[in-house]
Structures are given as structure tokens and as C-alpha cells.
A and B are shown apart, each in its own frame.
Chain A
Amino acid sequence: MFRDAWLVTKKDLLIELRSRILINQIAPYTLLILVLFGFALDADTETLRDTGPGLFWVSTLLVAILAIQRSVDVETSDSAIDRLMLSGISPTSIYVGKTIGLYLQLIVLEALLFTVMVVLFDMSVVDYPLVIVSAVVTTLAISSSGTLYGVIASGLGVRETLLPVLFLPVLAPAVIGATRAFGDAFGRVNADGWAWLGLLSVIAIVYTLVGMLTYGNIIEDT
């Protein structure tokens, strides 16, 4: 399964390297969101430092919606998904492959977002391991649920409006946990960030398992 999944991941990453949608369009959008938040909060540095962790994860979710739509477009254009299914790769492998591909793209965007946030909001990290682990786990939750919901919302003619309505509430508990963890990692809140990793891990594992079990039912009709 993982060999087939890796084939799907490589395909997605190769398409992205050649099209450069992530670099040319989604990455600038990422930066734009942060800048707009700075303007909206009246560019007071102390406020930005306090709200930075939350703004980071809200920005990540907004960017993830674009990345998910892009990931689904790759398959639905020119009936590519039909050819993928006919190739003999199992739906579970397709799901895992697309999740990993989306995960890697989101990690790159988050690294960029993180760097810009630290610079623009003048923030300093107190606990680097917590930042890395919480980002890794939360991104898995985002990519696993995003891959599933992207397909659920596709092919119905209302994807642009339906995907956010379905996807964002599901990730809200993860955002709460990730924001607390980041807040602790930046020394901005008096909370045990490591304790929130348990919730984040449960969310990531549950969404991944549900996706692996149900993805096949959904893409049959895409």
C-alpha cells in the first residue's frame, strides 16, 4: 500500500513542481493574509505577539482550503481519477498518497508562514520541539481531513462554498489545541502546550482512519 501511495504522492508533487501553483499563487496569498491581519489589528506589536499563534493557524486553514481544492482539481480535470482507479491502485493507497502530498505542501507553506510571522510580529520561540511536534501533528489532521472533504465536496458544482462549510468546523478543535500549544511554545500563554498534543494526536489519528476506511466509497462516484 505504501509503495502505491508513494507513487500517488510523487505524481502530485511532480505536478506541483511543474505548475508551481503553490509557489506562484498560494504562497503569496499566505503572506498577504498575515499582512492583512497586521493591518486589521492596527499593527500594535504586543497585540500581534499575543494573537500570533491563533493568526498562524487561521491563516494555515485558509491556505489549506486552496491547497485542497488544487489537490482535488488535479484528479477531477480530464477524468484523471478514473485512470488512477483503473491503474489498479487501491482507493486507500490513493487516499494515503494524496494526504502525504498535501501534507508536504502544507508543511512548506507553514514553514514560510512561520518565518514571516516571527519576523513581522517580532516573536521569539521558547520551546522549539513543541512548535515542531505540534505543527507536524496538526498538519496531519488538516491534510487527512482535507483530502477526504475535498473529494466529498467535489463534483457537486458547489465545491467553493461547500468545502469551507464542511472542512473548517471539523478542524476547529485542532485549531484550539494547536493555538494553545503554539502559545505556550512562544511563551505567550500560561498553558501546558504538551498536554494539548494528546488531543491533536487523537484528532489526527481518527481523521486518518476514517479517511482510509471511507475514501473508497466516495471516489467511486467522482
Chain B
Amino acid sequence: MGISLLLGIPTLLIFSFLLSPADDNMNDAVRLIYVHVPLAIFAYVAIITTGIGSVFYLWKKSRWWDTVAHASAEIGLMFCGLVLVTGSIWGRPTWNTWWEWGDVRLVTTLVLFLMILGYLALRQVPANPDLRAKRSSVVGIIAAVNIPIVNR
């Protein structure tokens, strides 16, 4: 998997930023879509992994699943943030604005970002690890079930 990543990422970057032509309407801004969409997919996968880890923690009471959920949430937050940043950069030349409140998916992605931020805020609270893990698991499950709502 590491080798395919090492080969795949440069290939993606070369094809998207150098070899693919500009779009008739979006011009060179279209190149961001080649990065923006995979970032969104990774963000969703990470948050769904947090949800799965949370469910399994509540079921199995295994600290390993809690660690998986926590780690995935941090990755999901980073990728979600990058989705918003690349989306804004794409939106500036396309919509002539950094942010478009009328785009529901954009707004709900921001909401998802804030949910994960809240999850990680709960993770930072000094408390008994098991108590914190249980409560974080519930918050993680709710963040994950919001994915289909965000993606509507």
C-alpha cells in the first residue's frame, strides 16, 4: 500500500497540475477538483472509521478501538479542513467569493468540521480514560451518522 501511495500521489499531481487541460468554464481552477474530491473522500472515510471505532468500543470495551476512533478523528479533521480550504480557493475565481452560504454541501461540510472539533475538544478534557472514551464514542457515532446528511 505504501508503494502504491508513493507511486500514485506523484502521478496524480503530475496529471492534474501539468498534463490535464484547463476547463472551458473554470480554466485552471478545475485542477483543484482533482485534489479536492479525494480529500473529501478521505475525510469521510476517516470520520466513518471514527464512527466504527466508537461503535466497537461501546460494544467490546476495547481501548484499541477507542484509539482507532481518536486517531481517525484527527485525520478526518485535517482532511475536512483541507476540503474547506481547497473549496474556498476553487470558489474564489469560480464564484468570485471565498465562501458561498447558498451551497448547502459546503456549509454542511463546515458543520462536520465543527462536529469533529467538538469531538476532539471532548478528548482533551481531563477525566477518567474510560469515562472520556465512552462519551467520546457517542459523539463520534453522531458525527459519523451525519455523513449522509452532509453528503445529501
Contacts and interface: CB of A to CB of B under 8 A. Distances in A.
Interface of A: 145, 148-149, 152, 156-158, 162, 165-166, 168-170, 172-173, 176, 199, 202-203, 206-207, 210, 214, 217-218, 221
Interface string B91-113: 00000000000001001100110
Contact of A218 (B117, B119, B134): B134
A205 B118 CA distance: 22
Given A169-B114, A176-B108, 6 more contacts: A152-B122, A156-B127, A157-B125, A176-B107, A210-B142, A214-B141
A112 to B, nearest CB: 28
A166 B139 contact: yes
Interface of B: 58, 104, 107-108, 111-112, 114-115, 117-119, 121-122, 125, 127-128, 130-131, 134-135, 137-139, 141-142, 145-146, 149-150, 152
B134 A221 contact: yes
B139 to A, nearest CB: 6
5 contacts: A152-B138, A166-B121, A169-B115, A169-B118, A210-B141
Nearest to B131: A221
A214 B134 CA distance: 9
Contacts of B119: 166
B136 to A, nearest CB: 9
Contacts of B121: 162, 165-166
A151 B146 CA distance: 20
A162 B122 contact: yes
A173 B58 contact: no
B115 A170 contact: yes
A214 B146 contact: no
Contacts of A170: 115, 142, 146
B109 to A, nearest CB: 11
A207 B143 CA distance: 11
B138 A210 contact: yes
Given A156-B127, A158-B125, A217-B134, A169 B111 contact: yes
A75 B130 CA distance: 22
Contact of A165 (B104, B108, B117, B138): B117
Contact of B149 (A149, A158, A173, A214): A173
Nearest to B58: A217
B138 A217 contact: yes
B135 A218 contact: yes
